[in-house]
Structure 1
Amino acid sequence: MSGVFLDFYVGCQKLCGAVASARRFWEGNNVFDNDVWLQQVREDIVDPGREIVDPHHHLWEIATLPYNLEQLLADTASGHNVVQTVFMECSASYFEDGPDHLRPVGETQFVAAAAERAASIDGAAQIAGIIGHADLRHKNLDDVLDAHLDAANGLFRGIRHAGAWDNDLDALLIKPDGPEGLYLDPAFQAGVARLGERRMTYDTWHYHHQNQDFRTLALAVPETKLVLDHFGTPLGVGRFAGKRDEIFLQWKDDVAAIAECPNVCAKLGGLAMPDNGFGWMGRALPPTSDEIVATHAAYYTHMIDCFGPDRCMFESNFPVDRLSVSYTVLWNALKKIAAGYDERSQQLMFSETARTVYQL
């Protein structure tokens, strides 16, 4: 198990074990084996015919933390009309030997094999794109990109080299491993620019206090398509606990400034991660879609107002958000948020923007 996911696993166990009302639903080693807890909230599917491309999910084969193809397909087949997905890198199944800079290609090979299996299952959602990992500062970056392309069976679309950094690691469930100031590093900016030259995308994950650095990066690489994941992760734990209103106001200004960069589009999801501080994971009952709408809608509507539907795509961020909410309830919430927009806008946010950005 990689360091990032070992920390994630231990953190989940500590959080769940500390909440007596939730502990009985999280017995054993697999923190994603929470069906009993999630199934306490059942809802009819909203707008069941709506076609969905889920542009952000993970897969990994870790004995104590599995989220494999079968579990993904169980989620995507749970009622909503999910037809395609995009895999997002998560340090899974790296090669165990060979040059360090090429080891992430093992993940692409692993996901390409999963996509091939999914393609053989009638009616299953298809993994239509793969976002892998590379150190964008590496002198042999092109060799890594070529290796990803060779391993992906035509599905490779881009790179996520996450920039998430914070100096209060003890407060975070998911420990970031990005260095401070990554987006300002000239070598990193050159690597992101190279992705654009090769018609590949760059996905980012960082925290709200890094949004201004991300805008600087976007301005430096105008020919590269950048994807802002998870709203720029407005934190709500550690030193940010109890400061939601203050953070929201600054976040709104920062997002509006980022949206002025035409090369940036936004993924709308990931707010159910425990580090956002909404507290869903530790409750006796998971949230309903109406609760999620009441709590999160202001973030979604601001992003859509700033970027426009043609630069926004709804995402599940599963299984990480599965710690807080079921796939069915999450997509119900997204559909309720989107209900106030016209049909074309909904088509864009649920499927067409993702297809355009990731060339699906």
Structure 2
Amino acid sequence: MTEAILEPDLPIIDPHHHLWDLRPLMAAFPEPRHPFIAAIALSPYYTFNEINADASSGHNVIGTVFMECGAFYNAGASEALKVVGEVEYVNGVAAQSASGLYGHARLCDAIIGHADLRQGGKAGAVLDALMAASPRFKGIRHAAAWDADPDVLGPPFHHPGGLYLDPAFREGFAELGKRGLTFDAWLLEPQLEDLLSLARAFPDQPIVLDHCGTPLGMASYHGKLHERFDIWREKIKAIGLCPNVSVKLGGLAMSFAGLPDHGPAAGLSSEVLAAMWRPYIETCIEAFGPGRAMFESNYPVDKWGASYAVLWNAFKRLTHGASAEEKAALYAGTAARFYGMEHLLG
């Protein structure tokens, strides 16, 4: 589906996208595929050319943040340090974009890598190596998404339950604050109390909750979005009271949420998507405020539900009545401040 671009001059910093080559993963999961596998099958190879084309599709994307996804690890490094390869690779992509030869957007201007914080204090050495790999490195994501129903996440995910409550993880988590690094949290709606506990235990650590806290609408949660909405909302409101936590407004087009519940590339209009996502987006903005909320593409995963251009049109429909100041924060300012990208705002 193609649409006319809404508010084409509004500056956008996309604070969450991936780069990867997942063709080996795709080969490991033959038909029938879990919906997440079907979603990434849309873009099993997503590197500079692909993100540059999407970011240049009409909206005024001035910069982006790369989000770790376990890609391009250094096969010759130790288990702990192989993650540095991902940051090294993305730093090269960022340098390619910074040449200005491919447009005005500064892709991967900030880089979020990964370190296994379950190493406790030893994670500090990995963080130091990541910092040395790129001046664009800003922090890490250590995902904790888990559910007792294995069909919810599917075969690619193997995070342990209760990760953010684990003492060894928290020992490693403390290493972030010593270095002024950020933390991206991805977990599912039934787990949100774990993040609340973590945020309260480390009140000075900047944390951003990915994907609106990932409401669930598939597998054993299919058809339960409505009945679980109030549960999700109360958890979001509680987390929003933690001043060190921000939220990413997006990820709702993932197969996990079922918004839409069919894909890939559902072909729905931005009007339909905006109506579907409104209760979640508006609840998050109310709980966190524009100064701690940022729209994200979560591309290419959210290609399951919408093209890049339609996705941002849907967001813009949701903020039609917002002030210029609120829009400036939601689309670029909050991300710039959280990830240290203020230089992109001029």
TM-score, normalisation: structure 1 = 0.86
2:103 is aligned, of 123, 127, 147, to 123
- Structure 2 matches for 1:144-163, cutoff 5 A? 144-152=126-134, 154-163=135-144
User: How far apart are 1:272 and its partner, in Å?
Assistant: 0.1
CA distance in structure 2 between the partners assigned to 1:220 and 1:242 by the alignment: 35
C-alpha root-mean-square deviation of aligned residues, in Å? 1.5
Shift of 1:97: 2.3
Evaluate the alpha carbon distance shift between residue 68 and residue 339 of structure 1 in structure 2; reply closer, same or farther with a 3 A threshold: same
List aligned pairs for 1:149-188, cutoff 5 A: 149-152=131-134, 154-173=135-154, 175-188=156-169
Structure 1 unaligned spans of 5+: 1-40
Question: 1:296 is matched by which residue type in structure 2?
Answer: W
Match of 1:101 in 2: 80
Alpha-carbon separation, structure 2, partners of 1:289 and 1:74? 20
Q: Secondary structure at the match of 1:211?
A: helix
Alignment equivalent of 1:140, drawn from 122, 126, 141: 122
Q: For 1:161 and 1:178, locate their aligned partners in 2 and report how far apart those are by CA, in whole Å.
A: 9
Q: Does 1:311 align with 2:271?
A: no
Which consecutive unaligned segments of at least 5 residues does structure 2 have? 27-43, 342-346
More displaced, 193-202 or 102-111? 193-202
Alignment check: 8 A CA contact 2:291 2:334 kept: yes
* Shift in Å, 1:340: 1.6
Shift in Å, 1:170: 2.4
TM alignment of 1:238-257, pairs within 5 A? 238-257=219-238
**Contact 2:259–2:277 (CA<8 Å) still a contact in 1?**
no
The two structures have a TM-score, normalised by structure 2, of 0.89
Match of 2:34 in 1: none
| CA distance in structure 2 between the partners assigned to 1:103 and 1:219 by the alignment | 31
Kindly state the Cα deviation for residue 281 of structure 1 after the two structures are TM-superposed.
4.0
Task: Select between 155-164 and 124-133 the one with higher mean Cα deviation.
Answer: 124-133
Which stretch shifts more, 284-293 or 315-324?
A: 284-293
Please give the residue correspondences for 1:59-74 in structure 2 after superposition, counting only pairs within 5 Å.
Answer: 59-63=19-23, 65-74=44-53
SS at match of 2:246: strand
CA distance, structure 2, for counterparts of residue 148 and residue 255 of structure 1 = 31
Aligned to 2:89: 110
Deviation readout 1:284-342 (Å, 9 max, x if unpaired): 85111000111111100110001000000000000000122100000001111111211
Distance, in Å, in 2 between the alignment partners of 1:174 and 1:312 is 31
- Equivalences, count: 319
**2:246 equivalent in structure 1:** 265
Question: Are residue 351 (structure 1) and residue 311 (structure 2) matched?
Answer: no
1:90 corresponds to 2:69: yes
State the SS of the aligned residue for 2:111.
Answer: strand
Q: Distance in 2 between matches of 1:236 and 1:141?
A: 35
Contact 1:197 1:224 (8 Å CA) reproduced: no
Aligned equivalents of 1:284, 1:116: Cα separation in 2: 31
Q: Does 1:294 align with 2:275?
A: yes
Q: Distance in 2 between matches of 1:214 and 1:147?
A: 26
Alignment partners' CA distance in 1, 2:52 and 2:104: 7
Measure the CA separation in 2 of the matches of 1:191 and 1:215. 18
Q: Deviations over 1:238-293 (max 9, x none)?
A: 11111111111100000000011111000000000011123454378511100011
SS of the residue corresponding to residue 275 of structure 1 reads coil
| Aligned mates of 2:255, 2:12 — CA distance in 1 | 25
> Structure 1: which amino acid aligns with 2:259?
F
Equivalent in the alignment of 1:28: none
1:197 Cα shift?
Answer: 2.2
Distance verdict in 2 for CA 1:219–1:74, change over 3 Å: same
